[in-house]
Amino acid sequence: MSKRLLIKPFRPHCQMNADQAREIWRSLRVAISEIYDRNASVLSFEELYRNAYNLVLHKHGDLLYDGVKELVESQLRAVADIVVASPDEQLLNQICKGWREHQVTMVMVRDILMYMDRTLFSACSEAPQKSLSSQVCTPEQKNGML
């Protein structure tokens, strides 16, 4: 009887620790802020995707999700403040402008977080990133603008 030779793929045994994960999140936070500031041309989306992928892969997806949620909330609060402060004749224009910019921004952020959406949310009940902005936006709009 012959023995079968099993070759396992190489897997480095260096797990990402919490400090490394926080450092990667800091760089992603800066990059997402650059996207919100409409300065995305200086970013490498491949590198950003890889960083987000590595966070989820090494079980730091909750850090990524919570950080993105907090960042989106703060950006939407800033937009709501601008809309609330606008004169009545500019109100609809400001709402439309803010919504268009938010949509463009969230498409870019979604592209970075694609792996998180596909894997992290199939294992838990958190809302995917693409619906996160609508969940975050609704209470602010109801309380601040109605």
- The string of pLDDT tens digits covering residues 69-88 is 999 999 999 999 999 999 99
Task: Supply the pLDDT for residue 87.
Answer: 95
Q: Round to whole Å and give the CA distance between 26 and 36.
A: 15
Tell me what pLDDT residue 8 has. Answer: 73
pLDDT at 119: 82
Q: What percent of the chain shows pLDDT beyond 70?
A: 77
Do the beta carbons of residue 55 and residue 47 sit within 8 Å? no
Q: How far apart are CA 128 and CA 126, in angstroms?
A: 6
Question: How many other C-beta atoms can be found within 10 angstroms of the C-beta atom of residue 131?
Answer: 11
Burial of 76 (0-12, 13-18, 19+ CB in 10 A): middle
| CB-based contacts of 102-106 (< 8 A; 24+ apart in sequence) | 102/75, 102/76, 102/133, 105/35, 105/36, 105/75, 106/72, 106/130, 106/133
Does the pTM of the predicted model rise above 0.95? no
Tens digits of pLDDT across the chain (146 residues): 567 877 777 666 668 899 999 999 999 999 999 999 999 999 999 999 999 999 999 999 999 999 999 999 999 999 999 999 999 999 999 999 999 999 999 999 999 999 888 887 665 555 555 555 555 545 444 344 33
The three-class DSSP label of residue 8 is: coil
